[in-house]
Amino acid sequence: MATFNSIFNVAPSRNLTLTSLNQPLSPPLSLPLHRSSSVAFRHKLRSNSLVLCSTNESKIAEEKEIPIELRYEAFPSVMDINKIREILPHRFPFLLVDRVIEYKAGESAVAIKNVTINDNFFPGHFPERPIMPGVLMVEAMAQVGGIVMLQPEVGGSKSSFFFAGIDKVRFRKPVIAGDTLVMRMTLVKLQKRFGIAKMEGKAYVGNSLVCEGEFLMAMGKEE
C-alpha cells in the first residue's frame, strides 16, 4: 500500500490547496474564503502607561518640599500698630486692630485682628468655648472704618469722630481663639456738609465670611 502524504499550502490569494505528493500535479482545488466569512486576527496595541513609584523618587520629593517657614506668606504691613495708635484714639483693652494690610486713601482699608486666647473677653465669653463676641467684631470693623475716615483725604477729626449706627449686620460663623480676623471697610457715601459717612464692612476668617453690615459714621469739627 502506497503511502499517501499531503500538505496544506496557503496561496497568496488566500486559497486553501490540497496537493498529493505521489500524484502528478493537477490544477489545485481552491476553496475561496469570502470577505464576509473570513476571520481576521489583529493584534490591538494598547497604550498602557506604567507609573513607577520608587523610594528614590519619594526621597527626591521630600527634599524638594517647601520649608514650613516659606510655605505661607505673611500679611503685608501697610500700617503697623504704632501708626494705628497715631490715628485711632483707642487704647488697651479696646484697640482691636493690629495691622493694616491694604489701604486706599479716601476709599477703603483692610486690617487684621489676631484673636488669641489671651484676649480679656474670653474668660467670660465663654469659659468652655472661647468665642469672640459679635459686638466686638462690629467694634473692630468700625475702628478699621475710623482709619479710613480719620485721614486728610476725608477730613475727619480724632477728637470728634463717632460710630453713629449699624444696619443689616449678620454674623455668619463664630470666630474663635487662634483665628485671624480680616476686615474690609469701604466708604460708600460721604456727606461732608452734614459730617455723615456710610460704609460697608465685611470680615473674614480664611475664605469664610463671618460678619457683614452697613456702618454709619459721624464726624465733627475741632473746636
Among 128, 116, 180, 190, residue whose Cα is nearest residue 155: 190
C-alpha cell at 69: 517657614
C-alpha cell recorded at residue 92: 488697651
Is residue 125 among the annotated active site residues? Answer: yes
CA distances to 68, 72, 116 from 179, in Å: 19, 15, 7
Query: For 172, what's the count of Cα atoms within 13 Å in the CB-facing half-sphere?
Result: 12
Identity at 53, one-letter amino acid code: C
Query: What CA–CA distance (Å, rounded) separates 113 from 100?
Result: 9
Cα atoms in the Cβ-side hemisphere of radius 13 Å centred on 41: 0
Instruction: Give the catalytic positions in this structure.
Output: 125
